[in-house]
Each structure stands twice: as C-alpha cells, then as structure tokens.
C-alpha cells in the first residue's frame, strides 16, 4: 500500500472511530426531570425512544419548583422539562443549562372544570363571570396551591388579570399535592376547579366548561420548556430533546392533550 492509500485508510478509520464514539455518546442512558403535567406523555415517549435502540431514560416527576431546586442542589439530571419559565430562567441564570439547548416544547392552557354530574354546561371566561354563583353558598374553588405550583400561579394570575380574583381569594381550596385540585372536583368535593387542559383530558369524572386563552396571561398557552443540563451526557440529552419534537412524538403530545408550538422558536415569555 502506497503512502497516500495508507493516509486515506487512516483517515477513514479515524472518521469511523469518531462516528462510533459519537453514536455511543448519543445513546447513553439519561435522567430526565419533568413537570408533573408531562407524566403520561413522557412515560410513553420514553418507551418509544428506548425501543428504537437508544439509551435508557430514567424519569422523575415533581412540581417544577421542586425539580429546579433539586437540580440546583446537585441531584443528577441530564434534561429538565419545566412548566414554568421562571424556574428555567432561574437555572439559566445560575449557568446550569447547556447553552443553546433551551426551547419551547409543547403548549397547554388552563381550564375550568366541574364534576361530570354538574348541571353547569359552559361558562364564558370574562371579567363578567360570576364565580360565586358557580360556587354556591359553601363551595370552594379547587386549584393546586398558587404558592407552590405552576398551574396554581397561572390560575391566580389569570383571575387577577380578569379582575375575578377578589371574588374567590377567600374561597380557594388550595391543593397541597400535584393534581389535587383535579382530584377534589372528581370526588365532588368542589363544584368548580382550574387545572391544566391536558390533565383534564385524562379524567372522565369531570367536564371542561371554560378555557383561559393567551390574552388572560402572557404565555399562558405555552406550558413546557425543555433544556439540557451541563453533564457528561449532554450528547444523549440533546438526542432525546431532538426526539421529543419528531413527528411521531408530536402525535403523542397531542394525544395526551398538549398543543404544538409552531416552528422551532425559542422561549416566548
């Protein structure tokens, strides 16, 4: 073999080795910290991702604030999926996100729900809405605690914007656990609740009677943001994030009640 052929063979071999190494990195196992609202969709998506020959995906679900604090405190994670941009901002300011990896993933909105047996069929979400009439004499508005959960914060902000908060600020049943507001309405303990639209879609024990739109809170219809964290598994994290926006994944997001964001725009808040 002459010198030029040897050089070519060496180059090809090096290219193949680098390619194999990069493929191995992209297929590494990863840990994903997700918002509670993404539980069902991400669980299904992770199964598909693994079945396609990629690495294992370890999923952990908790309220976004708790997940962000866990990451800040050094608990290992490779991907963060947040339902609140403020906590993604928080980690970005602390330089814990992989630069350029943050983007909107899927959208959501908040909705009014009632028990399936309720006579209420539809409400128009506007400043004229009479919430006290819907709650009755002793009823409480069920919502996950605004002090600790993204959905609760969204609900309070939207009600404040519509000047409806003064009606109910003393008539709130703040659920202390994720999806507690949904559970209270399912059990008939509250005549009215506010939850994420995708979570309402999971239950046949309630009905959606009204929806909040983006005009009632900037970005209210943009729920989940995703970013890779600065870890040795960044290649695999980016590979998984890319998978979450494939046509196959988008079908699953819609199936589980989320809305697609247009294009590949960065965060809109």
106-115, pLDDT tens digit by residue? 988 899 999 9
Q: Which two tokens stand for residue 43?
A: 């669980």
pLDDT at 269 over 50: no
Confidence band, pLDDT 50/70/90 cuts, at residue 208:
very high
- What's the pTM? 0.81
231-258 residue pLDDT tens? 999 999 999 999 999 999 999 999 999 9
Q: Which two tokens stand for residue 200?
A: 């309402």
Structural domains in the chain, sorted by start: 12-107+222-260 (3.40.190.10), 110-216 (3.40.190.10)
């Amino acid at each position: 073999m002459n010198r030029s052929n040897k050089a070519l063979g060496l180059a090809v071999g090096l290219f193949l080795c680098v390619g194999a190494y990069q493929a191995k990195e992209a297929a590494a196992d990863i840990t994903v910290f997700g918002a509670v609202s993404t539980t069902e969709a991400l669980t299904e998506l992770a199964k598909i991702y693994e079945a396609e020959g990629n690495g294992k995906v370890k999923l952990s679900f908790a309220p976004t604030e708790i997940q962000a604090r866990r990451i800040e405190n050094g608990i290992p994670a490779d991907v963060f999926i947040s339902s609140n941009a403020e906590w993604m901002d928080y980690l970005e300011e602390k330089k814990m996100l992989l630069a350029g990896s943050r983007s909107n993933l899927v959208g959501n909105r908040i909705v009014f729900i009632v028990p399936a047996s309720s006579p209420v069929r539809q409400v128009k979400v506007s400043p004229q809405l009479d919430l006290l009439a819907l709650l009755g004499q002793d009823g409480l508005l069920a919502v996950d605690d605004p002090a600790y959960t993204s959905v609760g914060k969204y609900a309070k902000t939207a009600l404040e914007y519509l000047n409806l908060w003064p009606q109910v600020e003393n008539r709130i049943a703040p659920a202390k656990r994720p999806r507690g507001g949904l559970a209270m309405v399912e059990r008939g303990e509250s005549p009215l609740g506010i939850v994420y639209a995708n979570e309402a879609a999971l239950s046949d024990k309630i009905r959606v009677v009204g929806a909040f739109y983006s005009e009632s809170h900037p970005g209210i219809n943009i729920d989940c943001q995703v970013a890779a964290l600065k870890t040795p598994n960044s290649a695999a994290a980016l590979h998984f994030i890319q998978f979450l926006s494939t046509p196959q994944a988008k079908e699953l997001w819609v199936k589980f009640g989320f809305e697609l964001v247009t294009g590949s725009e960065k965060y809109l808040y």
